[in-house]
Amino acid sequence: MKLFPLSFAALATAALLALPVQAEPITLSWGIPAEASDILTANTTSGTAQLLGTKVFDGLLSYNDDLTPKPQLATVWDVSPDGLTYRFTLREGVKFHDGTPLTPQDVAFSINYLKANHPRGNVTFSTVERIETPDAHTVVLHLTKPTPFLLSALASAESPILPEHVFADVKPGLPPPDDKLIGTGPYRFVKWQRGDYIIFEKNPDYWDKGKPEVDRLVGRFITDAASRSAAFETGEIAFGEINPAEAQRFKDQPGFQVIELPKAYNGSHAQLAFNLDRELPRDIHVREAVSHAIDVPRILDTVYYGAGTVSPTPIIPSKGIYHDADLGPFDYDPKKAEAILDAAGYKPGPDGFRFKIELALNGYHDPRLGSFIQQSLREIGIDASLRLNDPAAYIKRVYTDRDFDFAIDFLGNYFDPAVGVQRVFWSKSIRPGVPFVNPSHYSNPEVDRLLEAAADEPDQAKRVELYRQFQEIIRKDLPVIDLLDPPTFYLVSDKVTGLFNSAQAQSGNFADLKLATPGKS
């Protein structure tokens, strides 16, 4: 296959001028606001990994916008009336990128790998007791008890299917060597130049015949918003995630679409987590004071330009019946916050500050949010030092070194509370070095009981009640302060179509991505 050389001027020309009828291969480049240390979504739940790994690896299923399943590697699926047996018929003729056929044994291996190594796998697949592979195209999961969310957890962003003959020899849970990034997805991994770009090329043997139309994808890691905007304007990148300020800048600019991504599958949630391993954050008076110091509606107005939703509970409003709407936002009252700290013995010193804390922010997110919360804390006499780290350094600081007092992060609710919410508060999620699970090291046996019961409860009304009780306890214990359900924006050149083809949005596979035909919308 003939490929463009890695000149980004050439990429720009290909991205914005090449036509599907031309003989030259089609190359598109896109902007990525942060780099990950691992793109295998069997190991990590990072947003960048979900963006990139899903182009290489397929899941058993994908999902429509209403989260109804649709075929991917599985073409037929059936759940027994008692909810204890899941049977999947695999698509025939599927091959991994090295030419090896997909087998049921690969699926069984993958589910066991996920159960042992995925940050949420010990919840998602906790009830999978046994896996059968009775013939060349069938996989049967046997569960110990019903698991209502399981059928929604089988997309590649959450549960990628791995080749056993490759990953059986890879140290589990760690980033695999580049030459082991072999899946069944629409794109093959080619090259990862750390700190600069990552390249994928079309899988010519993809099971969805005729797709993808794009021959080469180049993801450029551009962390600086101004540089990213310039790359859009010069045509170096054709699409990518942008922050709210960039969305405002481009919303009326011809040649681009600003798209706010749907929340059905991911459902991001901004939270301020307290490190309960440290003395100051462990004091409930400190946490209560902070809860009254942050003006969340003003964050939406100033950082997100009015987009997004205040989300004062662990389950965001867009998750419908599971969200407890009776738990309103904390009163924004700095004077009350100061009085709580005064009563607890934290008096201001000569410099006006009561004590110092380290405030960590995942650099994937808008730094203005960190600055806003830093200033809010300073206004009640807490001298907060903001530590803005790239995602890999943030993960190490928060989940390995525990070198923080407060941390701002976005831990998605995902498609079900048992998957996205439970990991944040379940004591059994605490595993040193495993990212995006229980950053506070919070432990409450009653919360554990409620979460475990809700995860397996088939009666929806009972499940709603269990999650309501859970949210009430979290409001009282305050291991985190739930802030908001933020928007996610994508900027897309009007020369590009078919970018999002499932509820997973940017974490879909880009198999339908193509250049628009001139004269057509």
Backbone φ, ψ for residue 271 (5° rounding): -135, 150
142 and 199 assigned to the same domain: no
Segment 267-282 shows an average pLDDT of: 96
Does residue 176 lie within any of the structural domains? no
Collapsing DSSP to helix, strand or coil, 244 comes out as helix
Kindly give the residue spans of alpha helices, DSSP state H, lying in 175-257: 225-234, 244-250
Residue after which a domain boundary falls, among 167, 200, 222 = 167
Q: Which of 21-25, 129-133, 386-390 has the lowest mean pLDDT?
A: 21-25
Residue 109 belongs to domain spanning: 61-167
Q: In what order do the strands lie in the sheet with 309-310?
A: 309-310, 480-485, 270-274, 406-410, 355-362, 382-389
Angle at 420 between CA 293 and CA 71, to 5 degrees: 145
Identity of the residue numbered 309: T
- pLDDT value for 517: 60
221 and 74 assigned to the same domain: no
d(C-alpha 138, C-alpha 383), whole Å:
59
The string of pLDDT tens digits covering residues 427-459 is: 999 988 889 999 999 999 999 999 999 998 999
Does residue 444 lie within any of the structural domains? yes
d(C-alpha 33, C-alpha 50), whole Å:
13
Does residue 382 lie within any of the structural domains? yes
Does residue 48 lie within any of the structural domains? no
> How distant, in Å, are the alpha carbons of 121, 127, 267, 452, 487 from that of 417?
14, 16, 10, 11, 19
- CB–CB of 437/423 below 8 Å? yes
What number of helices (H) and strands (E) belong to the chain? 17, 21
The string of pLDDT tens digits covering residues 385-443 is: 999 998 889 999 999 999 999 999 999 899 999 999 999 999 999 988 889 999 999 99
Tell me which DSSP letter residue 253 carries.
Answer: -
- pLDDT value for 8: 39
- CB–CB of 401/422 below 8 Å? no
Q: Find tokens 């999620």 and name the residue.
A: 429
d(C-alpha 362, C-alpha 224), whole Å:
14
Q: Find tokens 């309960």 and name the residue.
A: 276
Q: Find tokens 């059968």 and name the residue.
A: 132
Q: Which of 78-87, 150-159, 360-369, 447-456 has the lowest mean pLDDT?
A: 360-369
d(C-alpha 169, C-alpha 55), whole Å:
23
What are the tokens at 191? 């090259």
> How distant, in Å, are the alpha carbons of 47, 214, 267, 324, 513 from that of 263?
14, 27, 4, 18, 21
Taking the CA atoms of 48, 50, 53 and 55 in sequence, report the sign of the dihedral they define. negative
441 and 465 assigned to the same domain: yes
The string of pLDDT tens digits covering residues 150-189 is: 999 999 999 999 999 999 999 998 999 999 999 999 999 9
DSSP 111-168: HHHHHHHSTTHHHHTTTEEEEEEEETTEEEEEESS--TTGGGS-STTTS----HHHHT
- pLDDT value for 20: 47
> How distant, in Å, are the alpha carbons of 224, 256, 346, 490, 500 from that of 238?
17, 9, 52, 11, 14
Collapsing DSSP to helix, strand or coil, 519 comes out as coil
What are the tokens at 144? 């110990």
The string of pLDDT tens digits covering residues 186-227 is: 999 999 999 999 999 999 999 999 999 999 999 999 998 899
- pLDDT value for 267: 81
What are the tokens at 435? 């990212």
282 and 335 assigned to the same domain: yes
- CB–CB of 181/55 below 8 Å? no
145 pLDDT higher than 90: yes
Q: What is the pTM of this model?
A: 0.88
Q: Exposed, middle or buried by CB within 10 Å (0-12, 13-18, 19+), for 27?
A: buried
Does residue 2 lie within any of the structural domains? no
Segment 276-285 shows an average pLDDT of: 98
Please state, rounded to an integer, the average pLDDT across all residues of the chain. 92
The domain total for the chain is 3
69 pLDDT higher than 90: yes
d(C-alpha 158, C-alpha 170), whole Å:
19
Quickly state the pLDDT bin for 19 (edges 50, 70, 90): very low
- pLDDT value for 320: 86
- Least Cα distance to 156 among 515, 514, 496, 501 occurs for 501
Does residue 172 lie within any of the structural domains? no
The reply to whether omega before 212 is within 30° of 0 (cis) is: yes
230 and 280 assigned to the same domain: no
- Least Cα distance to 15 among 255, 208, 189, 260 occurs for 255
Does residue 21 lie within any of the structural domains? yes
Q: Find tokens 């306890």 and name the residue.
A: 473
214 and 276 assigned to the same domain: no
308 and 353 assigned to the same domain: yes
Quickly state the pLDDT bin for 363 (edges 50, 70, 90): confident
CATH of the domain at 238: 3.40.190.10
CATH of the domain at 145: 3.90.76.10
19 and 103 assigned to the same domain: no
- Least Cα distance to 224 among 367, 120, 417 occurs for 367
d(C-alpha 89, C-alpha 104), whole Å:
9
Q: Find tokens 């780099």 and name the residue.
A: 35
The reply to whether omega before 350 is within 30° of 0 (cis) is: no
283 and 316 assigned to the same domain: yes
299 and 442 assigned to the same domain: yes
- Least Cα distance to 186 among 165, 159, 167, 205 occurs for 205
Tell me which DSSP letter residue 33 carries.
Answer: S
- pLDDT value for 143: 97
- pLDDT value for 57: 98
Q: What percent of the chain has pLDDT over 90?
A: 83
d(C-alpha 378, C-alpha 293), whole Å:
9
Residue after which a domain boundary falls, among 106, 132, 167 = 167
475 and 509 assigned to the same domain: no
CATH of the domain at 461: 3.10.105.10
Q: What percent of the chain has pLDDT over 70?
A: 95
- CB–CB of 481/281 below 8 Å? no
**What's the length of the chain?**
521
239 and 295 assigned to the same domain: no
DSSP 283-340: SHHHHHHHHTT--HHHHHHHTSTT-SEE--SSS-GGGGGGS-TTS-PPP--HHHHHHH
d(C-alpha 283, C-alpha 237), whole Å:
48
- pLDDT value for 515: 87
Does residue 93 lie within any of the structural domains? yes
- CB–CB of 115/125 below 8 Å? yes
